[in-house]
Amino acid sequence: MSTTEDTNAPVPDQHLLRMKVWSQRTWVAHCDDHLSGATLEARLAEFLQEAFEYAHTKPELLDKPTAQIAEAVMAGILHSETVPSDALQAALHKITS
């Protein structure tokens, strides 16, 4: 049995994919076992600042909307599975509120 590829599927943006991978690896490197509550919020805020500073050094990302970069960064963090997604989402909500 053969499977057919969906030729109508959008091709992932390689630059945003690289940003996601960078975010995942960098977040894992910054994590420790005691990330919860205020510590998680502070670490996430610092990391988001670092991620956007990093993104602004990449010419291929300069024309990307902030929302797309943020989505790639958060996807990388969530993919790392270092902190439960509900805790990350709660921390992100507190940071952005």
Q: 94 is written with which tokens?
A: 């507190």
Tokens found for residue 92: 């992100």
Q: Is the pLDDT of residue 21 over 70?
A: yes
Look at residue 26 in the predicted model and tell me its pLDDT: 94
Given a cut of 60, is residue 2 above it in pLDDT?
no
On the question of pLDDT at 8 being above 70, the answer is no
**Residue that wins the pLDDT comparison between 45 and 11:** 45
39-72 per-position pLDDT tens digit: 888 899 999 999 999 999 999 999 999 999 999 9
DSSP 58: -
Residues 6+ apart with CB under 8 A from 52: 66, 69, 73
Whole-angstrom Cα distance, residue 16 to residue 33? Answer: 28
- 8 A C-beta contact, residue 74 and residue 93: no
Matching residue, tokens 């909307």? 65
Q: Strands, DSSP E only, in the chain?
A: none
Rounded to two decimals, the pTM is 0.79
Predicted confidence (pLDDT) per residue in 23-39, tens digit: 999 999 888 766 777 88
For the beta carbon of residue 76, count every other beta carbon within 10 angstroms: 22
Q: How many CB atoms lie within 10 A of CB 30?
A: 16
